[in-house]
């Protein structure tokens, strides 16, 4: 699994999150914590979840045996991030505190003006250190995800 080089993932605790989740600014982005890392220590290893999952509602018309559907609710499943951990600095490990609330911003094509992003209000519901043998040290944060801002533009 390799993250695209243009992807930027930013964490903002609630106190410093963008005021307008549909239009994060360059100032907002630089004020957040970049979770991608620099390849030399802590950084994002895996993204799980964050896909909007639509549902449908069956609508029988009683005139036929075929039942149509209409759009129902959409939801985002509980999601998680797995990150490489630096036992010395622990910058990202310390920034992502258990029970913290905030916003995760996913900027798929970088953070230049006019680029689309998704911002997810989240709560960190679990934080586990992983000690897999034969692998560098990682930790995983489990997230409860609220209604995202899809199509936000920088």
The overall average pLDDT reported for the chain is 88
How far is the C-alpha of 145 from the C-alpha of 75, rounded, in Å? Answer: 9
Burial zone of 102 (CB within 10 Å; 0-12 exposed, 13-18 middle, 19+ buried) = buried
How far is the C-alpha of 68 from the C-alpha of 53, rounded, in Å? Answer: 19
Instruction: Supply φ then ψ for residue 7, to 5 degrees.
Output: -65, 135
Residue 1 has pLDDT above 50, yes or no: no
pLDDT value for 13: 96
| pTM of the entire predicted model | 0.83
pLDDT value for 39: 65
Q: Which residues pair with 129 in a beta bridge?
A: 139
**What is the CA angle 91-111-13, rounded to 5?**
40
Each residue's pLDDT tens digit, 74-116: 888 889 999 998 878 888 999 999 999 999 999 988 887 788 8
* 3-class SS shares of the chain: helix, strand, coil, % to 5: 10, 45, 45
Tokens of 20: 């307008």
């Amino acid at each position: 699994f390799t993250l695209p080089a243009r992807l930027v993932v930013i964490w903002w605790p609630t106190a410093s999150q963008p005021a307008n989740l549909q239009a994060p600014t360059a100032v907002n982005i630089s004020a957040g914590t970049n979770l991608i890392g620099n390849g030399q220590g802590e950084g994002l290893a895996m993204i799980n979840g964050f896909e909007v999952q639509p549902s449908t509602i069956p609508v029988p018309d009683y005139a036929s045996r075929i039942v149509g559907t209409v759009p129902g609710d959409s939801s985002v499943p509980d999601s998680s991030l797995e990150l490489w951990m630096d036992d010395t600095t622990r910058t990202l490990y310390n920034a992502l505190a258990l029970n913290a609330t905030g916003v995760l911003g996913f900027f798929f094509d970088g953070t230049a003006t006019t680029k689309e992003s998704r911002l997810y209000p989240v709560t960190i519901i679990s934080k586990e250190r992983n000690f897999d043998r034969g692998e560098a040290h990682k930790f995983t944060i489990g997230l409860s995800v609220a209604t995202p801002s899809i199509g936000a533009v920088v």
